[in-house]
Amino acid sequence: MTDIAQRLRGSMPALITPMKDGKLDEAAFRQFVSWQVAEGSHGLVPMGTTGESATLSHEEHHRVVAICVEEAKGRVPVIAGAGSNSTAEAISLSRFAKEIGADAVLSVAPYYNKPTQEGIYRHFATIAEAVDIPVLLYNIPGRSVVEIAVETIARLSKIANIVGVKDATNNLARPSRERLACGTDWRLISGEDATALGYMAHGGHGCISVTANVAPKLCAEFQNACIAGDFARARTLQDRLMPLHDAMFCESSPAPAKYAASLLGKCSDEVRLPIVAATPPARARIRAAMEGAGLL
């Protein structure tokens, strides 16, 4: 296992992309990245779903990744979102991430096309062959429609630079099955804040988190407790964070996370259509959850 793969651990926020008047708010994003590192986040994930990658142009996508790498300054790994339902486009985004200095890429299962398991295998294998950078698979059938089967993941794990998976299946049997199929070096990263406690107990290595956007210190403490095997401490933190985990998805993400970040003065709550800003009932729920977690 490479040194970079070993560093894919702990609390890694799926970063929001601050916007102002319809454009990327670069100053706010730079400050946000630096704050995340200072608060103890173990890694940074720009241009995932939470970063509104689906509605940013390629130029904007490149700029967000570049800024994140610049501001991280090598202090924590940057895992750049570089997925697409077009294999050629995913390769292009991965090549850019490699060139700009990202440490790894997050590559989502091809959405909309509904490929077979063989198609999924060839998609990821082709990306890994084309770009010499660690690849973290992203298994999220709720958004991509297709699920990467354990058997397909086992095949992909034999490719040297495919190092692990972000699992948003909400199936807590998956980490145990994948560890048996792929070996102990395979990086098991949760993609679900609410079930990360169970995932870590099954041998997970960390979480790519939405909640960590607004509670980075608490999420890092939670992950540190899990990694240390202190699940009593982890449960205490889970109970404190659980209402916030739920609130982050009370409406279409990342609207709740951006509103929460705005309450902390980190950026505006502006999102890009077809996502719309959080409604008043959602705002009340988000504020209450933040107050309950001691963030306000």
Which residues are annotated as catalytic?
138, 166
Q: Read off φ and ψ for residue 78, nearest 5 degrees.
A: -110, 120
Alpha carbons 289 and 260: distance in angstroms, whole number: 10
Classify residue 74 as left (phi > 0), alpha (psi -120 to 50) or beta. Answer: left
Residue with tokens 């570089």: 82
Where are the strands (E) in the chain, listed by range? 10-13, 19-20, 23-24, 79-81, 104-108, 135-139, 162-167, 187-190, 206-209
C-alpha to C-alpha distances, 181 to 106, 175, 188, nearest whole angstrom: 21, 10, 12
Alpha carbons 101 and 200: distance in angstroms, whole number: 29
Beta carbons of 107 and 138 less than 8 angstroms apart:
yes
Residue 1 amino acid letter:
M
Q: Following DSSP, what letter does each residue of 191-225 receive, concatenated?
A: --GGGHHHHHHTT--EEEESGGGT-HHHHHHHHHH
C-alpha to C-alpha distances, 260 to 50, 55, 238, 291, nearest whole angstrom: 13, 21, 18, 11
51 CB contacts (<8 Å, ≥6 apart)?
14, 15, 16, 17, 45, 64, 81, 254
Q: What share of the chain is helix, strand, coil (3-state, %, to 5)?
A: 50, 15, 35
Q: CA 174, 176, 179, 181 torsion: positive or negative?
A: negative
Q: Which two tokens stand for residue 234?
A: 């982890």
